[in-house]
Structure 1
Amino acid sequence: MPDRLPADAVWLGLDLGTQSARCVAVDSTGQVLAAASRPLTSHRDGKRHEQDPEQWWSALAEACREALVGIDPARVKGLALDGTSGTILLADADGTPLTRGLMYDDGRAADQAVRANQAGEAVWQDLGYRSMQPSWALPKLLWLLDNEPAAAGTGVRLLHQTDLVTWRLAGHQVASDASHALKTGYHLIEERWPEKEMAELGVPAALLPDVVRPGSVIGTVCAEAAEATGIPAGTAIVAGMTDGCAAQIGAGALTPGAWNSVLGTTLVFKGMSPHLVRDPGGVVYCHRGPGESWLPGGASSSGAGVISREFAGADLDELTVLASESDSDAVAYPLVSTGGERFPFRAPDAEPFVLGTPADEAERFHAYLLGVACVERLCFDYLDLLGAPVDGPLTLTGGGARNRYWSRLRADVMGRPVRLPEQAEGAIGMAVLAATSSGASVQDAAAAMVRIGEEIQPDPARTARWTPVYLAFLDELVRRGWLDNAVAAHAKQRAAR
């Protein structure tokens, strides 16, 4: 254990996901001392997806109070918070929400995305992602400025999802982190807001928060927040990261070529590269990593959310057992969002489909498990095409990683070993990041606190079994006009090696 990581300290990792708010208390060896969560509710209407921002605070406060019961307050030294990437709202000068929270996959801002890409083209190209998608924060901010009467008031602030909570924790507005600010157009290379482009888009400079690098101490917990949450007053508040980056830290995927695949409601990829990865297709973007490294990744609109949608009320354990015995070639495109696909290709008009004819519910269930694995393999093929290092260790996190058969299927389809951390969640990553307030590097904190529970080796025979299914899946994506022929050709070349 690094000398600068106090042995008796407790670090809090706070996580705002799509469906729940969570708090974990972790010691400096990685032992989880306590954890608690509270549900969050969403409202979807076509391409719109919203949450009540006040629920973020109330749910997280309740989770913290439960998790901290029985823990000596003197041991609690720091906390960090993650949220969903691209989720924003407008608030007044006191931090009171003026709008609903526009969620990470809200796709209403298509017209505003065109404007953002025209004004910021040179900056977005310099940063590697080339263009913004309608679900990104800046287009949605423009939509709010165009459509919300409250946006015309004085003292209005843009807040990312986590900014509302850190404001409440500190008792005043504190800096946002560069990870959440990425999709709002923050210039990660020059570490500033692009003033000329924002002015051209009509975004007032006073609307935008100050920004610091993740891991910076941005404040301490105030007395009022301590009363609401049970977190001791004076606890250090550390600037966090988006949920995908949080899971990456929690998985210890912090060496060049290492990747973490987060299978939650949607599939999120995060890796580490010694260089900035630029994507002509605009679906891969890079966060700033520790030191001079970069964290390339992408967020899909496909993922495990299809399971709750398609198999509501079903016994998933029983379906898994039956699916594991299936010999069906059926594969389903596991699209969750109604706003189309975001990664590993961009297709606003994408819709779910099933190739083949499942004979029963177990085979239909297996088709969705297999579809996620095929999307995951395509992610790596696309990243390799861009020149991102992809041959390091791969960890699987998120709720989907708790299904061992699914994890084995993913390893077989991709043909590569996968590691399963003992605690597969972003909140652990935030506890690790909170520990850097002691002076330890994030790599040293992760080395001390991240525990790998199991490694699954792929079965070459099963990889060969599923490869033709994967190639047929690619052909169908191309036939529908969603996947570029060049990407499919590169994937097929890799499969033939």
Structure 2
Amino acid sequence: MNNYFFGVDVGTQGARIVLVNQEGKLIASDARKFELDDCFREEQSPELWWKDCKEMMTDLIASLPSSIDRSCIQALSVTSTSGTVIPLDKNYDPLHNAIMYSDPRSAEQGKRCKEVATKYVKEGYTGFNASSGISKMVWFQETYPEKAEDIELWVHASDYIVGKFSSNYKTTDYTNVLKSAYDLEKLEWPAYVIKELGIKRSCLQEVVPSGTIVGELDAELASTWGIPQIAIVVGMTDGCATQMASGAVKPGNWNTTIGTTLVIKGVTKSNVVDPLGRLYSHRHPEGYWMPGGASNTGADWISLDFADNLQALNEEAEQLVPTGLLAWPLKQEGERYPIMAAQARGFYPEGVSQAAQFTAGLEGVAFIERLAYEIIEDLSSEKVEAVYSAGGGSNSDIWLQTRASVLNVPIYKCKEASGAFGAAIMAASNTFYSSLIEAASAMTQIEKEVLPNSDLVSAYETQYRAFKQKLSDLNYI
């Protein structure tokens, strides 16, 4: 008998829902782009997220074939962006739009949060900046003091959707609270958050391990959809969910996800502390640590600048590597990982074809990925032996080959490595299975292994050194 699990992913520009069985087989899925305005990188409507998610759930369940026993649907979990926060009122309705992780308006508050945290935290995470949830909380309360007294609860993006499914808004997980200043070593909200940053303790959520059941599906929704009141499992951040989907859940495993941004995650036995704040460690639900970082460099440049003839560009890129050109396709101002440089700007080679610019962009992202892993190796004293890859960037064979050759390690692409699939694994981890590692082992499959090309490895050593030198010349490193 099959058992089934929903995974919901609320991303920056759209949402996706999957239904999978206990073996990780994809049963059904749906996706939708949000109707966003030009300010979507700063604020978005969480009601819009829920409207689209609810409609997709309705359509997906209605379209399930009769062979799928709806009574065997077991659980649901949610993933969404890290650092996005929402102030809720006493009715748990949004007092304001969701303040997005990519909103730069809290830069000054981020500096202050970092300074305060550094005074009190010696071995934990203090790398707060404009993309941190705690910075946005402080910014909102200072910018809208008339609304501050009406805040009942601060929640993260995935928490809001979990709340709509289950009516439990008060609980969040280890991964969401890292950038909201929760102490993952002591497992408590530190006193400085309340006393120095001015956030009321009553407005802060209770924190549980990722994968914890926090409620059951709202009775009215269950009746409407014709499914049981299934278990609702606490949400988690998108980077961590995709790491789960890639299979990188045991100590020594590493994952790179290239979506809108580039996210690197791994699993270590001990906490990895970066004094410069480039790298941070999430708490693994089974007691390990998940160090990694999120870059502003990703694949958004492809959808924005090269989407019209992408297939042809990928084919041309196969003939152009290695280009010997230097590009960094950073689309927004400033970088956060592996470089902390608010003044950073991307760059492309001039006077070359569109295909050459595209190919150089692929290489540039690979160079950023390598720089990130070099920092990880230095801080952890562990060698990166292989990388599990996920996200839209993993769909390009030439990009996989380029990255494997730049990193000089094998890259493994998993069959269903998406945030929504990772959320489904989390939904199964403590309902059908007894742990996250057991669930991920049973539900993930490697689809492709890409080995380094020896000729490219040699050429990229020279090109990578030139790339780092350019970053140095620009005072980015």
**Does the pair score TM above 0.5?**
yes
Equivalent residue for 1:84? 81
Between the aligned partners of 1:192 and 1:242, the Cα distance in structure 2 is 19
Letter in 1 for 2:395: R
- Cα pair distance change 1:138/1:194, threshold 3 Å: same
Between the aligned partners of 1:455 and 1:218, the Cα distance in structure 2 is 37
Equivalent residues of 2:7, 2:422 under 8 A apart? yes
Letter in 2 for 1:401: S
The alpha-carbon deviation at position 269 of structure 1 amounts to 0.5
Equivalent residues of 1:28, 1:448 under 8 A apart? yes
Letter in 2 for 1:234: Q
Decide which moves more: 324-333 or 394-403. Answer: 324-333
Within-5 A mapping of 1:24-43? 24-43=18-37
How big is each residue's C-alpha offset from its partner over 1:226-258, in whole Å with a ceiling of 9 and x where there is no partner?
367x37341101113211110111111022221
Decide which moves more: 136-145 or 33-42. Answer: 33-42
The alpha-carbon deviation at position 441 of structure 1 amounts to 1.2
User: Matched residue pairs, number?
Assistant: 471
Residue 181 of structure 1, aligned match among 177, 180, 189: 177
Equivalent residues of 2:153, 2:170 under 8 A apart? no
Letter in 1 for 2:214: I
1:391 aligns with 2:384: yes
Is there any run of 5+ residues in structure 2 with no aligned partner, and where? none
The alpha-carbon deviation at position 317 of structure 1 amounts to 0.2
- Cα pair distance change 1:358/1:413, threshold 3 Å: farther
Equivalent residue for 2:252? 257
Residue 230 of structure 2, aligned match among 218, 231, 235: 235
Equivalent residues of 1:166, 1:174 under 8 A apart? no
Between the aligned partners of 2:99 and 2:226, the Cα distance in structure 1 is 28
Equivalent residues of 1:86, 1:180 under 8 A apart? yes
1:426 aligns with 2:423: no
Equivalent residues of 1:380, 1:390 under 8 A apart? no
Decide which moves more: 218-227 or 245-254. Answer: 218-227
Between the aligned partners of 1:39 and 1:308, the Cα distance in structure 2 is 14
Equivalent residue for 1:403? 396
The alpha-carbon deviation at position 155 of structure 1 amounts to 4.8
Equivalent residue for 1:148? 144
- Cα pair distance change 1:150/1:408, threshold 3 Å: farther
Letter in 2 for 1:14: V
1:335 aligns with 2:335: no
- Cα pair distance change 1:392/1:416, threshold 3 Å: closer
Q: Please state whether the residue corresponding to 2:42 is helix, strand or coil.
A: strand
Between the aligned partners of 1:336 and 1:235, the Cα distance in structure 2 is 41
Decide which moves more: 93-102 or 192-201. Answer: 192-201
Q: Please state whether the residue corresponding to 1:176 is helix, strand or coil.
A: strand
Is there any run of 5+ residues in structure 1 with no aligned partner, and where? 1-6, 484-497
- Cα pair distance change 1:315/1:124, threshold 3 Å: farther
How big is each residue's C-alpha offset from its partner over 1:329-352, in whole Å with a ceiling of 9 and x where there is no partner?
2231121323x0010010001001
Decide which moves more: 382-391 or 429-438. Answer: 382-391
What is the TM-score normalised by the length of structure 1?
0.91
Q: Please state whether the residue corresponding to 1:179 is helix, strand or coil.
A: helix
Equivalent residue for 1:158? 154
Within-5 A mapping of 1:66-145? 66-68=59-61, 69-70=63-64, 71-127=68-124, 129-145=125-141
- Cα pair distance change 1:399/1:79, threshold 3 Å: same
Q: Please state whether the residue corresponding to 2:257 is helix, strand or coil.
A: strand
Decide which moves more: 315-324 or 144-153. Answer: 144-153
Within-5 A mapping of 1:204-283? 204-226=200-222, 230=225, 232-283=227-278
The alpha-carbon deviation at position 22 of structure 1 amounts to 0.9
Equivalent residues of 1:260, 1:397 under 8 A apart? yes
Between the aligned partners of 1:278 and 1:261, the Cα distance in structure 2 is 19
Between the aligned partners of 1:335 and 1:231, the Cα distance in structure 2 is 46
Letter in 1 for 2:300: G
Between the aligned partners of 2:351 and 2:242, the Cα distance in structure 1 is 34
- Cα pair distance change 1:155/1:57, threshold 3 Å: same
Between the aligned partners of 1:358 and 1:66, the Cα distance in structure 2 is 49
Q: Please state whether the residue corresponding to 1:353 is helix, strand or coil.
A: coil
Equivalent residue for 2:462? 468
Residue 49 of structure 2, aligned match among 39, 56, 68: 56
What is the TM-score normalised by the length of structure 2?
0.94
Percentage of pairs with the same residue: 34
